[in-house]
Homo-oligomer: A and B are copies of this chain.
């Protein structure tokens, strides 16, 4: 049985869009490191490195690179992996489900992301939900540009998929 998602508007952020690409190609874009590097971060930022071990407890690490070349690594792990349907990962646990150190928690934003894919016509209903532990984290994430950032990344993903078809 899949985890029910109990969205709390005080704590969570939701991006929902219907895009005209099939969900198996979106799944690959999320789970193939070479593909993810191409779209995951809105330009002119980019992804310097990416490690994806797509199974519960497996590593999900990305290193974002600023236009000036500064790198920002972020490491987490996958929680649920249901091909073409649901990908869940968190920044609150390191690979192997290890809790993050408290010291690092002060600088990072702990959240769990649900990526949910449903077939809709020839396309896909795409939902990205960021689940936080407190309103402050939600606000920080929102102020960092959750909606525009995840939306622009999705645009880049669709563009990548369409350019390869």
Contacts and interface: CB of A to CB of B under 8 A. Distances in A.
Interface of A: 1, 3-6, 11, 55-58, 79-80, 88, 90-94, 96-103, 105-106, 110-112, 131-134, 137
A92 B99 contact: yes
Given A1-B55, A56-B56, A58-B3, A97 B88 contact: yes
A106 B88 CA distance: 26
A137 B99 contact: yes
Nearest to A110: B99
Contacts of A96: 3-6, 131
B110 A97 contact: no
8 contacts: A3-B97, A56-B79, A88-B97, A90-B97, A91-B99, A97-B131, A102-B105, A102-B137
A114 to B, nearest CB: 8
A3 B57 contact: yes
Nearest to A57: B3
A112 B134 contact: no
A137 B111 CA distance: 21
A57 B137 CA distance: 20
A106 B106 CA distance: 11
A133 B94 contact: yes
